[in-house]
Amino acid sequence: MANLNSREKLIQYCLRNLGAPVVEINVDWQQCEDRLDEALDYFTERHFDGVEKVFFKYQLTQQDITNQYISTDDIGPPNGVDGPTGKDIVSVVKVMQFGNFSNINMFDIRYQMALTDYFGVNRNLQGTHSLGLANYDAMMRYIKLIEDFFQPEKAIVFSKVTNKLQLNMNWTEEVKVGDWLAIQAYAILDPEKNTEIYNDRYLKRYVTALIKKQWGANMSKFDGVALPGGVTMRGGIIYEQAIQEIAQIEQEFLYNSELPVDFMTG
């Protein structure tokens, strides 16, 4: 059972780690299930392996324009077949720019630059002076500056509680029914489909500590009760040990496994 690939195997591993079957662990199986769900929620929020970056495509409907928001529950998987859906989104990073600058055709300056300069960037065709890629890169940065000035990216508001993606724009003038949006987001990885999650070393330690905390809480009502043979119940000690272990593991999550904060500039 070294490769833990299911909820049951992970819970059994944690119980053995606490001493079962040599020691009786006074925790109900349903309580173990609850603690595992709690650990998975934390794993999703704090561990980079709990989520993945996904690019969703979505076609606007009349209902979206009327509501002036997009219900992410209506967004299907990225490839249309399998993978996370809009219901699995935990955060929206960006909605790709759309509008006059978003569509490149043969009359777009970027298309013309690529068409005329691609072969001459480094070869000085027709004897003209060329600065190579440096000149091309500077020009593209300048065009991007113009884009950002006249058509800045839309500010977005999203909450995984409401599952509503709001864009700061005039919905009746800037978009129309049938327009496509590209949404960059982080989505939860389903552990039932990605069973390697159950074998993560931090998750195993975290679930063990949470079950230990539950064990201590269950036994604390009998704290100080003497048993035959001179043994005294000490559920409170187990509880306090678990609290310390949980705090240490969560700190390790923060330092070792959490994605760095994105800084906004500009």
Residue 59 shares a structural domain with residue 171: yes
- Over residues 202-209, the mean pLDDT reads 96
Higher-confidence residue: 100 or 175? 175
Q: Is residue 262 one of the residues assigned to a domain?
A: no
Q: Tell which of 188, 208, 236 closes a domain.
A: 188
Note the pLDDT of residue 37: 97
Higher-confidence residue: 154 or 215? 215
Q: Is residue 193 one of the residues assigned to a domain?
A: no
Q: Is residue 152 one of the residues assigned to a domain?
A: yes
Note the pLDDT of residue 242: 95
Residue 180 shares a structural domain with residue 86: yes
Q: Is residue 2 one of the residues assigned to a domain?
A: no
Q: What is the mean pLDDT of the chain?
A: 82
pLDDT tier for residue 3 given thresholds of 50, 70 and 90: confident
pLDDT tops 90 at residue 110: no
pLDDT tops 70 at residue 144: yes
Q: Is residue 264 one of the residues assigned to a domain?
A: no
Q: Tell which of 156, 188, 220 closes a domain.
A: 188
Residue 233 burial by CB count (10 A; 0-12/13-18/19+): exposed, middle or buried? middle
Domain enclosing residue 156, as ranges: 51-188
Residue 64 shares a structural domain with residue 178: yes
Residue 109 shares a structural domain with residue 13: no
Residue 95 shares a structural domain with residue 150: yes
Q: Is residue 194 one of the residues assigned to a domain?
A: no
pLDDT digits over 33-50, tens only?
999 999 999 999 888 889
* Domain count within the chain: 2
pLDDT tops 90 at residue 116: no
Residue 212 shares a structural domain with residue 146: no
Note the pLDDT of residue 184: 93
pLDDT tops 70 at residue 228: no
Residue 177 shares a structural domain with residue 237: no
Residue 60 shares a structural domain with residue 179: yes
pTM summary value: 0.74
Pick from 161, 242, 200, 243: nearest CA to 46:
200
